[in-house]
Amino acid sequence: MTPLRDWTHLFLVFLCVLGAPSSPNLNDAAPSMAPGTLVERQAGSAYKLQIEYSGKTFFDGWDFFDEPDPSNGLVNYVSSSTAFARGLAFWTADGTPGIQADHWTTLPIGTTRDSIRLTTRQLFSGGVFMIDVRLMPWGCGVWPAFWTLGYHGTWPLAGEIDIIEGIQAMNRNQMTIHTKPGCVVDQTPGRFSGQLLNPICDRASGGTGCSIVSTSPISFGEQFNAQGGGVFAMQWDGDGIKMWNWIRKDIPADVTRGAPVPAGWGQPVAAWGAATCNPFEYFKPQTLILNLNLCGDWAGGLYNQFPYCPGTCAEHIANPENLKNAIWLVNSIRVYQPQGQPPIPEQAPTNANLTGSPGPVNIVRPVADNSGAMNRVTTLASWVPAQVILGLSGLSVIGLAIV
């Protein structure tokens, strides 16, 4: 790949000592999830914290998937050493972990671009899953996702659960499950508030899975970021799978306290009930995945159906100027288990068989955006502290965003 960098619009990178001055905390106005005390958790919640990924230890429990993209994206998922050396995995000056696609290298059209796909070593079977997102990627050709994937068996026989997903400048989050034949959505009125796209969840329906789209126009992408981010939650228990999300100012107190009480969260945005889809029959132990894809089966396959996206997907992402918003900042990811129930001890010894995908997802046009969003570029400096701490050979690298 061409090593050319556009220093005028992106980063000036230089080495410095670890004691670099800090930058403003984007969450000063509203705190992210706080752990709370053990007493608080036990007194107010049926769940206890199993594991947390956050801060300077965020990456410790993840592997960097570096196989070819199974969703046919124009990405080159890189190893841990490459990710930190190139600044694709990093921490902001205030310690918030992040991942991003290369958005400084000009590439020939059709060339894969370096990006990140993380998979947890820990496997999970049931519980409450929460991700506190400070900033999520968006833009033409961009396809971010936070999801779970069954570790054993060929996709999707062990199941897949997509918690956050969208493409281009969509502003409504799309939630999907993928299963073997037999699982369908329970459409009893009042079970969920989102808009159902497809009630049949198995791959025989074209591989699309059964998707439910949020009706909130600030649940994904640029509009979600403008609210200061927020929290997405998924509950997986004997009653089925349910999902909620809140922008920063609406995060429930029990979530902030670290003592989740899903029964008090009201109607879920999406739900797949056990009566028509047994959650422990169709979903075997899962690994968590956080990735940032470009083009591919969904963002590339439907690219020409989004009038605000110019040219072709491959042409668009070849220019790094178009990918300034291709960045995740994650305050924390937490998994809670019911009190008194031990987590499964199994670990994923390798991620080489994790070749499922967040798709192909609904190769029909998704719910239309009403945001009127064109391919606006919110510069990195608008969202990320000016100084971004990147790991490189044990030193700190400061990236100064130049507008």
- Residues known to be catalytic: 160, 165
Query: Do 102 and 30 contact (CB within 8 A), yes or no?
Result: no
Q: Where are the beta strands (DSSP E) in 73-227?
A: 75-77, 89-92, 97-100, 113-115, 117-120, 127-135, 142-150, 160-165, 174-178, 195-196, 210-213
172: amino acid identity, one letter: R
From residue 372, give the alpha-carbon distance in Å to each of 75, 173, 211, 367, 368: 28, 16, 23, 13, 10
Phi-psi region of 202 (alpha: psi -120 to 50; beta: other; left: phi over 0): beta
d(CA 184, CA 332): 32
d(CA 205, CA 7): 47
Phi-psi region of 314 (alpha: psi -120 to 50; beta: other; left: phi over 0): alpha
From residue 240, give the alpha-carbon distance in Å to each of 111, 128, 188: 41, 12, 14
374: amino acid identity, one letter: M
From residue 274, give the alpha-carbon distance in Å to each of 47, 162, 263, 321: 20, 17, 17, 46
